[in-house]
Chain A
């Protein structure tokens, strides 16, 4: 479904993403992990069209989407959430999701009230229907994350890019959010590429893991196999600590 070929991106002298290639199959949850500054979010931004790659290309559903603008990438069926929630502060939750419904997948004769109906479905799905008239700036972190998920789903994506969806959530909220993501995958048939730091969650959720370090891919495979890779443990815990402890 998604094929990343030899993706490279540098900022000045720093190569943030270096020759990364991997692919994502349909209906899969792929975890993208790595220590801070490994280039995960840069890779996500490259996929979305926010940055243009220096080399390499991205194929999505058999078509090359390298160099498309973010709104065109969104129309092709890729949607994302943000590491730090970026709500529309002065808009209600319903309004924010409605923007996604109106501008995401092209549908004929979509009026504002139709879009509102559709948006309230997504809000109900993430459990925010009772907060539909609350301004986004008044929501809690968990609700903001759910709003981001609803906003992303509202554009009818085929591939959902989650950027640290669990950051800052307590264990109960995290497990609720995980259930939500699973049921989103089931109900809307989305494929998920998921950046995550909370290893417990991503080990449980992901079918496959891709590990980045210093912008390079160091391993790829099933979670248990990847986690027993010495290089990965070194990347996470540092060389000596891993051997001693």
Chain B
């Protein structure tokens, strides 16, 4: 009655008039679903090691910062060296409002979105004015200026020690459970960002985004309102990065500008972008995990890690084939997928 048949890439089952099939060829598996399930299962294996779990949570957050950053770099056609500005803005907005005005996490989220959106909108004309290296320099300086502000107005921002004691997003009563909950929330945020970024880059706006990244002037001649697009691709990812700051505030319950605003944090983000997959949004997740695991495993070596870490990163950066990062090893390339080209323009 029921018959099975083994094809090259699938198993067919026939029953009466009906046909069912299972694909057994791994490259046709729905990889995004598999990977998401794998991420969901992680806490069950490492429930007993909260430090590893919090490291993976951090990796998720890094990915959640770099996914919008990759979108921003492609959409504005410029290398942004200061994504952490909005992380700081989002974090301080929600922390200060929570501590001094008693806003609940929901309202601090709205405030974060408004503040990050407003400030990035004010700053967005630099995407029209500044080209190439100048844009990178301006974005490099902004977070450092903000860091200085947190020291100058130390009474408010508590620059050296950071703000503490913000209300938690959820409290399950036990520390381990909280860690697991925060892990799931971070995965959820990362995957949401990935989904949004993927939807944008697979749509007609993504095609236009690629054209802007390739050649702004030609895109303009082809009827693309380049300035409008650049404002959108500057403001929207900035808000997403601000949301990560809000998340950090209400999960770790401490926020210090000195952790997130300096140059070494920015370098880590840029390294994730380059190692992950040259600003391809999927690549940010393996990139973030790689950098986090590497950093964590080298920490036990003591002071050696301060030069071992960059050396390993440089080797990886040079040795990865095709210059497409870790994601380039995994994904099956189709020419229609736009793989962004990162360049500091000199025009």
**Chain A residues proximal to chain B, CB less than 8 Å:** 48, 50, 69-71, 74-75, 79-80, 82, 86, 88-92, 94-96, 98-100, 102-105, 110-112, 115, 133-135, 151, 154-155
18 A-B pairs whose Cβ atoms sit less than 8 Å apart in the complex = A69-B220, A71-B222, A86-B215, A88-B218, A90-B210, A90-B340, A91-B214, A91-B338, A92-B335, A95-B207, A99-B208, A99-B210, A102-B208, A103-B219, A103-B225, A112-B204, A154-B222, A155-B222
- Report the interface size for chain B: residues with CB under 8 A from the other chain: 25
Smallest CB separation, A8 vs chain B (Å) = 23
State whether B338 touches A99 (Cβ < 8 A): no
Smallest CB separation, B179 vs chain A (Å) = 41
Interfacial residues of chain B within 199-240, with CB under 8 A of chain A in the complex: 202-204, 207-208, 210-211, 214-215, 217-226
User: Residues of B contacting A99 with CB < 8 Å?
Assistant: 207-208, 210-211, 219, 222, 224
Contact partner of B211 among A79, A88, A135, CB < 8 A? A88
State whether B214 touches A71 (Cβ < 8 A): no
Smallest CB separation, A134 vs chain B (Å) = 7
Those 9 A-B pairs whose CB atoms lie nearest each other, nearest first: A88-B214, A74-B223, A103-B223, A99-B211, A103-B224, A112-B204, A104-B223, A70-B220, A133-B335
Report the bound CA distance from A45 to B338 in whole Å: 30
Known A71-B220, A74-B222, A88-B218; contact A95-B340, beta-carbon cutoff 8 A: no
Report the bound CA distance from A88 to B336 in whole Å: 13
User: Residues of A contacting B338 with CB < 8 Å?
Assistant: 90-91, 95
Report the bound CA distance from A224 to B96 in whole Å: 79
State whether B204 touches A134 (Cβ < 8 A): no
User: Residues of A contacting B222 with CB < 8 Å?
Assistant: 71, 74, 79, 99-100, 103-104, 151, 154-155
Q: Is B293 an interface residue (CB 8 A)?
A: no
Report the bound CA distance from A111 to B217 in whole Å: 24
Q: Is B341 an interface residue (CB 8 A)?
A: yes
Closest to B334 in A: A133
User: Residues of B contacting A95 with CB < 8 Å?
Assistant: 207, 210, 336, 338
Report the bound CA distance from A164 to B218 in whole Å: 17
State whether A89 touches B214 (Cβ < 8 A): yes
State whether B210 touches A155 (Cβ < 8 A): no
